[in-house]
Amino acid sequence: MNANWWGLYGENIKKNLGRLSESEELSGIVGSETKHYTASYSLTEEFTSVYRMHPLIPDLIATYSCTSGKLISEKSFTEVQGKFTRPSMQDVSIADLFYSFGIVHPGAITLHNYPDTLRLFERMRPGSLAIDLAAVDILRDRERGVPRYNQFRKMLHKKPVRKFSEITSNAEWAKEISEVYGGDIELVDTMVGLLAEDVPKGFGFSDTAFRVFILMASRRLKSDRFFTNDYTEEVYTRTGLNWVDDNNMSSVIIRHYPQLTPAIQNVSNPFAPWDSINTFKPIPA
Protein backbone atom coordinates (compact mmCIF):
# COMPACT_ATOMS: atom_id res chain seq x y z
CA MET A 1 0.00 0.00 0.00
CA ASN A 2 2.93 2.36 0.56
CA ALA A 3 3.93 1.84 -3.08
CA ASN A 4 0.33 2.44 -4.19
CA TRP A 5 0.13 5.65 -2.19
CA TRP A 6 3.57 7.22 -2.59
CA GLY A 7 5.12 5.40 -5.57
CA LEU A 8 8.72 4.23 -5.86
CA TYR A 9 9.99 7.79 -5.49
CA GLY A 10 8.74 7.59 -1.93
CA GLU A 11 7.00 9.73 0.64
CA ASN A 12 9.59 12.49 1.02
CA ILE A 13 9.82 13.20 -2.70
CA LYS A 14 6.06 13.32 -3.13
CA LYS A 15 5.51 15.53 -0.08
CA ASN A 16 8.22 18.03 -1.01
CA LEU A 17 8.13 18.02 -4.80
CA GLY A 18 4.70 16.62 -5.65
CA ARG A 19 4.09 14.19 -8.51
CA LEU A 20 7.18 14.05 -10.71
CA SER A 21 5.75 11.56 -13.17
CA GLU A 22 2.43 10.40 -14.63
CA SER A 23 3.62 6.89 -13.87
CA GLU A 24 1.70 5.32 -10.99
CA GLU A 25 4.70 3.11 -10.25
CA LEU A 26 6.94 6.13 -9.71
CA SER A 27 4.58 8.70 -8.16
CA GLY A 28 1.78 6.53 -6.81
CA ILE A 29 -1.89 6.18 -7.63
CA VAL A 30 -3.11 8.92 -5.29
CA GLY A 31 -3.41 12.15 -7.23
CA SER A 32 -3.31 10.46 -10.65
CA GLU A 33 -6.16 10.41 -13.18
CA THR A 34 -9.32 8.46 -12.38
CA LYS A 35 -9.66 5.31 -14.46
CA HIS A 36 -12.31 2.60 -14.31
CA TYR A 37 -10.72 0.40 -17.00
CA THR A 38 -13.50 -1.78 -18.46
CA ALA A 39 -15.94 -1.58 -15.55
CA SER A 40 -16.75 0.46 -12.48
CA TYR A 41 -15.07 -0.75 -9.32
CA SER A 42 -16.81 -3.56 -7.47
CA LEU A 43 -15.91 -6.38 -5.13
CA THR A 44 -15.54 -9.49 -7.26
CA GLU A 45 -16.44 -13.01 -6.18
CA GLU A 46 -12.73 -13.87 -6.45
CA PHE A 47 -11.90 -11.15 -3.93
CA THR A 48 -14.68 -12.36 -1.63
CA SER A 49 -13.24 -15.87 -1.89
CA VAL A 50 -9.73 -14.72 -0.95
CA TYR A 51 -11.16 -12.70 1.93
CA ARG A 52 -12.60 -15.80 3.62
CA MET A 53 -10.06 -15.55 6.45
CA HIS A 54 -12.01 -17.21 9.22
CA PRO A 55 -8.89 -18.96 10.62
CA LEU A 56 -7.97 -15.52 12.01
CA ILE A 57 -10.78 -15.84 14.57
CA PRO A 58 -9.75 -17.58 17.79
CA ASP A 59 -12.16 -19.93 19.56
CA LEU A 60 -11.41 -18.17 22.84
CA ILE A 61 -11.65 -14.38 23.08
CA ALA A 62 -9.47 -12.91 25.83
CA THR A 63 -10.05 -9.32 26.99
CA TYR A 64 -7.49 -7.30 28.94
CA SER A 65 -7.57 -3.96 30.74
CA CYS A 66 -5.77 -1.20 28.84
CA THR A 67 -4.84 0.49 32.13
CA SER A 68 -3.67 -2.38 34.34
CA GLY A 69 -2.96 -5.01 31.68
CA LYS A 70 -4.88 -7.58 33.73
CA LEU A 71 -7.10 -10.24 32.18
CA ILE A 72 -10.75 -9.18 32.39
CA SER A 73 -12.45 -12.18 30.81
CA GLU A 74 -12.08 -15.21 28.55
CA LYS A 75 -15.13 -16.21 26.54
CA SER A 76 -15.76 -18.48 23.61
CA PHE A 77 -16.52 -16.88 20.27
CA THR A 78 -20.10 -18.14 20.59
CA GLU A 79 -20.46 -16.18 23.85
CA VAL A 80 -19.52 -12.86 22.23
CA GLN A 81 -21.24 -13.05 18.85
CA GLY A 82 -24.78 -12.28 17.71
CA LYS A 83 -27.21 -11.44 20.51
CA PHE A 84 -24.43 -11.90 23.10
CA THR A 85 -22.21 -9.13 21.74
CA ARG A 86 -23.56 -6.20 23.74
CA PRO A 87 -23.96 -8.12 27.04
CA SER A 88 -20.39 -9.42 26.69
CA MET A 89 -19.10 -5.83 26.54
CA GLN A 90 -20.64 -4.69 29.82
CA ASP A 91 -17.40 -5.05 31.76
CA VAL A 92 -15.02 -3.70 29.10
CA SER A 93 -14.50 -0.41 27.29
CA ILE A 94 -13.83 0.12 23.60
CA ALA A 95 -10.26 1.04 24.58
CA ASP A 96 -9.93 -2.32 26.39
CA LEU A 97 -11.11 -4.11 23.23
CA PHE A 98 -8.63 -2.24 21.02
CA TYR A 99 -5.83 -3.05 23.46
CA SER A 100 -6.86 -6.71 23.63
CA PHE A 101 -6.93 -7.06 19.85
CA GLY A 102 -3.53 -5.35 19.72
CA ILE A 103 -1.74 -7.73 22.07
CA VAL A 104 -3.51 -11.04 21.37
CA HIS A 105 -2.36 -12.92 18.29
CA PRO A 106 -4.99 -13.95 15.72
CA GLY A 107 -5.06 -17.44 14.26
CA ALA A 108 -2.75 -18.32 11.37
CA ILE A 109 -4.35 -18.33 7.92
CA THR A 110 -3.52 -21.92 7.13
CA LEU A 111 -5.01 -25.39 6.83
CA HIS A 112 -6.23 -27.26 9.93
CA ASN A 113 -6.81 -23.98 11.75
CA TYR A 114 -10.48 -23.23 11.10
CA PRO A 115 -12.11 -22.26 14.43
CA ASP A 116 -14.23 -25.01 15.97
CA THR A 117 -16.95 -22.52 16.92
CA LEU A 118 -17.45 -21.73 13.22
CA ARG A 119 -17.39 -25.37 12.18
CA LEU A 120 -20.37 -25.78 14.50
CA PHE A 121 -21.67 -22.24 14.15
CA GLU A 122 -24.76 -21.47 16.21
CA ARG A 123 -26.88 -18.87 14.46
CA MET A 124 -28.92 -16.74 16.83
CA ARG A 125 -32.31 -17.22 15.18
CA PRO A 126 -35.20 -19.30 16.57
CA GLY A 127 -35.30 -22.72 14.94
CA SER A 128 -31.92 -22.31 13.23
CA LEU A 129 -29.63 -25.31 13.04
CA ALA A 130 -25.90 -25.08 13.63
CA ILE A 131 -23.90 -24.96 10.39
CA ASP A 132 -20.37 -25.87 9.33
CA LEU A 133 -19.19 -22.51 7.99
CA ALA A 134 -16.05 -24.07 6.50
CA ALA A 135 -18.20 -26.24 4.25
CA VAL A 136 -20.46 -23.27 3.47
CA ASP A 137 -17.42 -21.19 2.43
CA ILE A 138 -16.45 -23.81 -0.16
CA LEU A 139 -20.05 -24.23 -1.33
CA ARG A 140 -20.41 -20.48 -1.85
CA ASP A 141 -17.34 -20.40 -4.09
CA ARG A 142 -18.65 -23.28 -6.18
CA GLU A 143 -22.15 -21.82 -6.52
CA ARG A 144 -20.87 -18.36 -7.44
CA GLY A 145 -18.56 -19.52 -10.20
CA VAL A 146 -15.21 -18.97 -8.53
CA PRO A 147 -12.64 -21.07 -10.46
CA ARG A 148 -11.00 -24.04 -8.76
CA TYR A 149 -7.51 -23.48 -7.40
CA ASN A 150 -5.45 -24.35 -10.49
CA GLN A 151 -7.63 -22.32 -12.83
CA PHE A 152 -7.59 -19.49 -10.29
CA ARG A 153 -3.78 -19.46 -10.50
CA LYS A 154 -3.86 -19.42 -14.31
CA MET A 155 -6.17 -16.39 -14.32
CA LEU A 156 -3.63 -14.56 -12.15
CA HIS A 157 -0.85 -15.47 -14.62
CA LYS A 158 0.67 -17.95 -12.21
CA LYS A 159 2.04 -21.30 -13.29
CA PRO A 160 -0.50 -24.09 -12.65
CA VAL A 161 0.57 -26.85 -10.28
CA ARG A 162 1.02 -30.34 -11.73
CA LYS A 163 1.13 -32.34 -8.51
CA PHE A 164 -0.10 -31.93 -4.96
CA SER A 165 3.39 -31.45 -3.55
CA GLU A 166 3.62 -28.25 -5.58
CA ILE A 167 0.70 -26.77 -3.63
CA THR A 168 2.42 -27.23 -0.30
CA SER A 169 5.75 -28.47 1.02
CA ASN A 170 3.89 -30.19 3.86
CA ALA A 171 3.90 -33.81 2.69
CA GLU A 172 1.06 -34.82 5.02
CA TRP A 173 -1.17 -31.99 3.75
CA ALA A 174 -0.40 -32.85 0.13
CA LYS A 175 -1.38 -36.46 0.83
CA GLU A 176 -4.61 -35.42 2.54
CA ILE A 177 -5.63 -33.06 -0.27
CA SER A 178 -4.94 -35.75 -2.86
CA GLU A 179 -7.13 -38.21 -0.96
CA VAL A 180 -9.99 -35.75 -0.53
CA TYR A 181 -10.05 -34.88 -4.24
CA GLY A 182 -9.50 -38.39 -5.53
CA GLY A 183 -6.08 -37.57 -6.96
CA ASP A 184 -7.52 -34.98 -9.40
CA ILE A 185 -5.55 -31.80 -8.86
CA GLU A 186 -7.92 -29.78 -11.06
CA LEU A 187 -10.74 -30.31 -8.55
CA VAL A 188 -8.96 -28.70 -5.59
CA ASP A 189 -11.08 -25.83 -4.28
CA THR A 190 -9.54 -22.38 -4.25
CA MET A 191 -9.91 -21.87 -0.50
CA VAL A 192 -8.17 -25.19 0.21
CA GLY A 193 -5.29 -24.36 -2.13
CA LEU A 194 -4.85 -20.87 -0.70
CA LEU A 195 -4.75 -22.15 2.87
CA ALA A 196 -2.32 -24.94 1.95
CA GLU A 197 0.23 -22.77 0.11
CA ASP A 198 3.56 -22.06 1.76
CA VAL A 199 3.50 -18.48 3.03
CA PRO A 200 6.33 -16.26 1.74
CA LYS A 201 8.62 -14.79 4.39
CA GLY A 202 7.01 -11.75 5.99
CA PHE A 203 3.54 -12.57 4.61
CA GLY A 204 0.43 -13.36 6.62
CA PHE A 205 -1.19 -15.30 3.81
CA SER A 206 -0.41 -16.98 0.50
CA ASP A 207 1.22 -15.36 -2.52
CA THR A 208 -1.81 -16.16 -4.69
CA ALA A 209 -4.14 -14.42 -2.24
CA PHE A 210 -1.78 -11.44 -2.08
CA ARG A 211 -2.03 -10.94 -5.84
CA VAL A 212 -5.78 -10.51 -5.60
CA PHE A 213 -5.41 -8.10 -2.69
CA ILE A 214 -2.90 -5.85 -4.43
CA LEU A 215 -4.99 -5.83 -7.59
CA MET A 216 -8.18 -4.87 -5.77
CA ALA A 217 -6.45 -2.31 -3.56
CA SER A 218 -5.01 -0.61 -6.62
CA ARG A 219 -8.37 -0.66 -8.43
CA ARG A 220 -10.07 0.73 -5.32
CA LEU A 221 -7.83 3.79 -5.33
CA LYS A 222 -7.76 4.26 -9.10
CA SER A 223 -11.55 4.25 -9.44
CA ASP A 224 -12.26 6.71 -6.61
CA ARG A 225 -12.27 10.36 -7.67
CA PHE A 226 -11.48 11.42 -4.11
CA PHE A 227 -8.13 9.62 -4.35
CA THR A 228 -7.45 10.69 -7.94
CA ASN A 229 -8.90 13.67 -9.85
CA ASP A 230 -10.34 15.30 -6.73
CA TYR A 231 -7.43 14.66 -4.40
CA THR A 232 -6.71 18.41 -4.48
CA GLU A 233 -6.55 21.44 -2.21
CA GLU A 234 -9.79 22.72 -3.76
CA VAL A 235 -11.62 19.67 -2.41
CA TYR A 236 -9.69 18.80 0.76
CA THR A 237 -7.99 22.15 1.56
CA ARG A 238 -4.26 22.21 2.22
CA THR A 239 -4.88 21.58 5.91
CA GLY A 240 -6.93 18.50 5.04
CA LEU A 241 -4.28 17.09 2.71
CA ASN A 242 -1.58 17.69 5.31
CA TRP A 243 -3.69 15.91 7.91
CA VAL A 244 -4.08 12.88 5.64
CA ASP A 245 -0.36 12.83 4.81
CA ASP A 246 0.91 13.38 8.35
CA ASN A 247 -1.31 10.92 10.21
CA ASN A 248 -1.60 7.16 10.27
CA MET A 249 -3.64 4.46 11.97
CA SER A 250 -1.63 4.78 15.20
CA SER A 251 -2.18 8.52 15.52
CA VAL A 252 -5.90 8.17 14.75
CA ILE A 253 -6.30 5.52 17.47
CA ILE A 254 -4.34 7.60 20.00
CA ARG A 255 -6.40 10.67 19.13
CA HIS A 256 -9.60 8.87 20.11
CA TYR A 257 -8.17 6.71 22.90
CA PRO A 258 -5.13 8.48 24.42
CA GLN A 259 -4.95 5.85 27.17
CA LEU A 260 -3.62 3.43 24.51
CA THR A 261 -0.51 5.57 23.91
CA PRO A 262 1.82 3.35 26.02
CA ALA A 263 0.82 0.27 24.03
CA ILE A 264 1.12 1.72 20.55
CA GLN A 265 3.52 4.67 20.45
CA ASN A 266 6.65 2.52 20.09
CA VAL A 267 5.12 0.22 17.44
CA SER A 268 6.02 1.16 13.87
CA ASN A 269 3.11 -0.79 12.36
CA PRO A 270 -0.19 -0.87 14.32
CA PHE A 271 -1.04 -4.19 12.62
CA ALA A 272 1.98 -5.74 14.35
CA PRO A 273 1.71 -6.86 18.02
CA TRP A 274 1.37 -3.94 20.41
CA ASP A 275 3.43 -3.47 23.56
CA SER A 276 2.03 -4.85 26.80
CA ILE A 277 1.03 -2.20 29.33
CA ASN A 278 2.92 -4.22 31.94
CA THR A 279 6.21 -4.01 30.05
CA PHE A 280 5.88 -0.41 28.78
CA LYS A 281 8.97 1.78 29.05
CA PRO A 282 8.55 5.50 28.29
CA ILE A 283 10.61 6.96 25.44
CA PRO A 284 13.40 9.14 26.91
CA ALA A 285 12.71 12.86 26.51
Q: Where are the domains of the chain?
A: 2-38+224-271
CA 110 to chain centre: 14
What is the pTM for the complete model shown? 0.86
Which residues, 6 or more positions from 174, have their beta carbon under 8 angstroms from its beta carbon?
A: 164, 165, 167, 168, 196
Does the active-site annotation cover 37? no
**pLDDT tops 80 at residue 87:** yes
pLDDT-derived band at 25, boundaries 50, 70, 90: confident
Choose, from 51, 64, 114, 231, the residue flagged as catalytic.
51
Q: Any idea what DSSP says for residue 91?
A: T
Residue among 145, 125, 23 nearest 81 (CA): 125
- List Cβ neighbours of 126 (8 Å cut-off, separation of 6 or more): none
pLDDT tens digits for 141-150?
999 999 999 9
Torsional class of 186: left (φ above 0), alpha (ψ -120 to 50), beta (otherwise)? alpha
Q: Which pLDDT tens digit goes with each residue over 125-145? A: 777 788 999 999 999 999 999
